[in-house]
Amino acid sequence: MSPFTGSAARTPRWEHLRVDLTDGVATVTLARPEKLNALTFGAYADLRDLLAELSRERSVRALVLAGEGRGFCSGGDVDEIIGATLGMDTAGLLDFNRMTGQVVRAVRECPFPVIAALHGVAAGAGAVLALAADFRVADPSARFAFLFTRVGLSGGDMGAAYLLPRVVGLGHATRLLMLGDPVRATEAERIGLISELTKDGAADETAQNLAHRLANGPALAYAQTKALLTAELDMPLAASVELDASTQALLMTGEDYAEFHAAFTEKRPPKWSGR
């Protein structure tokens, strides 16, 4: 995303999210614990806009997405979203569904790693938000459920039919998106849906440790790796290796590449600048 901004000022307060920025790590917490962090129209819009702002500012090197209380996110709020959509016309419904997809695109396209810290339920849209993250760190209480067919809708919501087969394979993705059955942490680890299974109650701490490790690393190299992983999902090999070559040539002109050589020569740890 471009770092250039227009007249709009930075958002001073996010109404639907809790946001903390420390040492290059943004922690974004879904904070409706009484509703299992069910998403509202405002929460979707805040996530979309927050990720765009953080991407432009270039002050964030890693982001942790977490949920307060008993679970990560139970999906869209039944009353505030499902009930409301029943009264919308086609244009309004298309605007809403496009917005939810924009959130997933923002997670995939932001120039920093996103880590989902998971405990309890990650259902519906909550499961897709976790799926869109670069890392999914979960404790044994975590369970995923792609519930869209259970409410009479397509399982291919918010990009799930694109992302899930690429993470767990077509067979598992078909089962999870069609049936909507819950997947507990041990099975999620077995099929590759989570990146790391932690001890009880340790997902948040583990996610923070990983985020700070990433924030202290070569940020530009991570950003380009993430961009290539997303861009090359649908590329033929010839286009992929050409894009890899162009990216490496650019990074070889960067400060971090020279810094690695200097640090290696001087027998010291690199001091990454992210440039």
**Sign of the torsion formed by the C-alpha atoms of 85, 88, 94 and 98:** negative
SS (H, E, C) the chain: CCCCCCCCCCCCCCCCCEEEEECCEEEEEECCHHHCCCECHHHHHHHHHHHHHHHHHCCCCEEEEEECCCCCECCECHHHHHHHHCCCCHHHHHHHHHHHHHHHHHHHHCCCCEEEEECCEEECHHHHHHHHCCEEEECCCCEEECCHHHHCCCCCCCCHHHHHHHHHCHHHHHHHHHHCCCEEHHHHHHCCCCCEECCCCCHHHHHHHHHHHHHCCCHHHHHHHHHHHHHHHHCCHHHHHHHHHHHHHHHCCCHHHHHHHHHHHCCCCCCCCCC
pLDDT above 60: residue 1:
no
d(CA 130, CA 132): 5
pLDDT in tens, 124-151: 999 999 999 999 999 999 999 999 999 9
pLDDT at 57: 84
Q: What is the pLDDT of residues 99-126, one digit of tens each?
A: 999 999 999 999 999 999 999 999 999 9
Angle at 228 between CA 225 and CA 231, to 5 degrees: 155
User: Can you read off the two tokens belonging to residue 169?
Assistant: 């394979």
- Rounded to 10 deg, the angle between the 90-109 and 219-231 helix axes is 130
β-pairing verdict for 114-118 and 25-30? unpaired
pLDDT score recorded for residue 3: 67
Identify the burial level of 41 via C-beta atoms within 10 angstroms of its C-beta, where 0-12 means exposed, 13-18 middle and 19 or more buried. middle
Q: Are 75 and 147 in contact (CB under 8 A)?
A: yes
Q: Are 132 and 73 in contact (CB under 8 A)?
A: no
pLDDT of residue 86: 92
> How far, rounded to the nearest angstrom, does the alpha carbon of residue 58 sit from its chain's CA centroid?
17
Which amino acid appears at position 56 of this protein? R
Looking at 3-7, 115-119, 132-136, 152-156, which range is the least confident one? 3-7
pTM, full prediction: 0.94
Residue 5, pLDDT > 80, answer no
Residue 67 token pair: 């949920």
Q: How far apart are CA 230 and CA 224, in angstroms?
A: 10
